Amino acid sequence: MLLSSLLTQSAVPAVCLALLLSGCKNPQAAERSAPPPVPVSLASATQESLPIEVAVVGTVDASAVVQVKSQIAGELLRVNFREGNDVDKGALLFEIDSRPYQQAVRQAESALTKDRAQLRQAEAVLARDEADLKNAEAEAGRYTTMLKEALTSRSQQEQVKTRADVARETVRADQAAIESSRAAIQSDLAAVDRAKLDISYCSIYAPISGRTGNLLVSAGNLVKANGDNALVIIHQVSPIYVNFNVPEQHLRAVRQLASQQGLIVRVSPKDDPSRSVTGRIRVVDNTVDSQTGTIHVKGELPNRDAFFWPGQFVNVAITLGMNQNATVVPAEAVQSGQDGQFVYIVKPDKTVEPRVVQTGRAIDRRIIIQKGVAPGDSVVIDGHLRLFPGARIQPVDPAKIQGTKL
């Protein structure tokens, strides 16, 4: 027992010494095991007044498309424009051989002259026959009186009356001939006008101002009247239309703004979103597409410099109002994870916390945060790769972070 007591008494100082030494070494080990702060760049979420916009993809259409065709048949003599160039309304495009139609005009004018001469002749015959009728009626009246006084026979009186009846029918025939001549003259006048109209069709002018497409018929070919194929197709590109679909939930706002003050539409090409053109809504369709849940809208753009082209896909944005208290963060702050989009929020103790957010639309490299971030929150905008929940951070300039990456 004495030996065990001595052993026990000698072990106590050793245990205390071991505990003391271990207590001195733990803080240094813990300090060596803690990771260094992660250098990151920070930004603060701000509260701004931003427009409420609906952004969709649309297509550009010409405001007018005309297929230029010939209204007469003949040889195409000349083409007075270069395909692909702009033409003004009323510009001479094509010339068709007018000689056959000039001959038709001369023939129609000759027939008109002939029928007018026949009319004058029929009027002269009518005047002569009317004089004969007047004499025959006077003679028939005398013979009727003479018959009553028994100064002539009934047969002579009837012969004179018959001559008067014949003269009367002759006058009627002359009047019918005159009406026929007048009708022929009207027909000749119509033929002359038609022939002259055909001559005018030999020169084909641009019905609208616009840009010509490919020339589909070259000079020297025979063209048909109102043929199946157009000679050229003209697209009017100033103004120009943009067609797009708006989700059904915005229909009420779109209709109200379009009817009250005119709804503004902003259009930009997909390859150059920074350059936009402003126009106005022209038509809001009268039905909602039940399959897509959208309504078709047509906007009109001035397009004076022919910046947009028919068939082009464009970005379209319409402003439906103002969001007075929008929370905005730089677009670099929003990351994608398994649970959706998130940002790293910096807590007061200089550690970070990932927070899932609900984002709105992007505006000039900024994103509206609808849920998850409050104005004034500090968020990480660079240096995300080394972060994890609870990581300690060291705010630095973005340039320094780029330097460490290199």
Q: Tokens in use for 325?
A: 């208290």
399: number of Cβ within 10 Å: 9
Q: How far apart are CA 142 and CA 160, in angstroms?
A: 9
Token match 């910096």: residue?
346
User: What is the C-alpha separation between 208 and 233, in angstroms, rounded?
Assistant: 11
Task: Kindly state the tokens that stand for 385.
Answer: 């790769």
Q: Find all residues with CB under 8 Å of 183, minimum gap 6, and list them.
A: none
Which run of H or of E encompasses 252? helix 251-260
CA distance 218 to 233: 14
Instruction: Record the tokens describing residue 101, joined without a space.
Output: 């139609």
Per-residue pLDDT of 307-344, as tens digits, reads: 999 999 999 998 887 777 889 999 999 999 888 999 99
Q: Do domains 38-49+325-405 and 54-64+241-323 have the same CATH topology?
A: no
Cα 380 to chain centroid distance, Å, stands at: 44
Q: Round to whole Å and give the CA distance between 223 and 230.
A: 10
Q: Dump pLDDT digits (tens) for 257-295.
A: 877 767 889 999 988 877 889 999 889 998 999 999 999
Domain spanning 54-64+241-323: CATH superfamily? Efflux pump adaptor protein, beta barrel domain (2.40.30.170)
What sign does the CA torsion over 314, 315, 320, 322 have? negative
Mapped onto helix, strand or coil, the DSSP state of residue 394 is strand
> Residues 192, 107: contact at Cβ < 8 Å?
no
pLDDT above 90 covers a percentage of the chain that reads 58
Q: How far apart are CA 87 and CA 237, in angstroms?
A: 11
CA dist 301 and 277 (Å) reads: 7
- C-alpha 405/C-alpha 387 separation (Å) is 14
Query: Which backbone phi and psi does 256 adopt, to 5 degrees?
Result: -65, -50
SS3 277: strand
Bin 89: left if φ > 0, else alpha if -120 < ψ < 50, else beta. beta
- The tokens for 364 are 């000039």
Q: Where are the alpha helices (DSSP H) in 96-153?
A: 99-148
Q: Rg (Cα) of the chain, in Å, rounded?
A: 50
Domain residue limits, the chain: 38-49+325-405, 54-64+241-323, 75-95+204-229, 98-201
DSSP labels, 183-244: HHHHHHHHHHHHHHHHHHHTEEE-SS-EEE----S-TT-EE-TT-SS-SEEEEEEEEEEEEE
Instruction: Pick the closest to residue 299 from 264, 249, 273 (CA basis).
Output: 264
Q: Tokens for 393?
A: 């951070």
Q: Cα(39)–Cα(400) distance, rounded to whole angstroms? A: 8
Stated pTM of the model? 0.64
In CATH, the architecture of 38-49+325-405 is Beta Barrel (2.40)
For the 75-95+204-229 domain, the top CATH level (class) is: mainly beta
pLDDT for 155:
87
pLDDT confidence of residue 152: 78
Q: Return the closest-CA partner of residue 280 out of 305, 311, 303, 313.
A: 303
- The fraction of the chain above a pLDDT of 70, given in percent, is 89
Comparing 151 with 18, the larger pLDDT belongs to: 151
Highest mean pLDDT among 23-27, 50-54, 82-86: 82-86
Tell me the two tokens of residue 150: 């028994």
pLDDT at res. 3: 36
Phi, psi of 107 (to 5 degrees): -65, -45
Confidence (pLDDT) at 28? 52
Query: Sign (positive/negative) of CA torsion 151, 153, 154, 156?
Result: negative
**95: CB partners within 8 A, 6+ apart:** 76, 77, 78, 80, 202, 203, 204
Length of the chain (residues): 406
Of the candidate ranges 5-9, 159-163, 178-182, the one whose mean pLDDT is the lowest: 5-9
